[in-house]
């Protein structure tokens, strides 16, 4: 009768006790960590295309060139 009561209360399941401290601690599962890209290849291509269509003046062009260079390097790195 006590087993049935404890089973109904959720303390015993399948003959094992669920009381804290008496049960072995489960081993945590190790998840594979994949390197997630900040931007996908198609998103980088879209940004590069749109940036090439815009017009720049003065120092904006220097910034444009640096950003385009970084994006294209990232795109080449992702495709390898």
- Predicted pLDDT at 76: 87
Tokens 């940036």 locate to 51
What spatial distance separates the first Cα and last Cα of the chain, rounded to whole Å? Answer: 66
Alpha-carbon torsion (41, 79, 38, 31), positive or negative: positive
| Residue range 8-25, pLDDT digits in tens | 656 555 655 555 555 566
| Residue range 21-55, pLDDT digits in tens | 555 666 677 666 566 777 888 999 999 999 999 99
| Residue range 53-80, pLDDT digits in tens | 999 998 899 999 999 999 999 888 877 7
What is the reported pTM? 0.50
Residues with Cβ within 8 Å of 23's Cβ and at least 6 positions away in sequence, in order, are 16, 17
């Amino acid at each position: 009768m006590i087993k049935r009561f404890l089973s109904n209360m959720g303390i015993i399941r399948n003959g094992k006790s669920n009381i804290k401290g008496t049960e072995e601690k489960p081993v945590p599962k190790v998840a594979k960590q994949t390197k997630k890209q900040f931007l996908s290849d198609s998103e980088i291509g879209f940004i590069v295309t749109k940036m090439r269509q815009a017009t720049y003046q003065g120092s904006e062009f220097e910034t444009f060139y640096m950003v385009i260079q970084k994006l294209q390097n990232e795109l080449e790195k992702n495709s390898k």
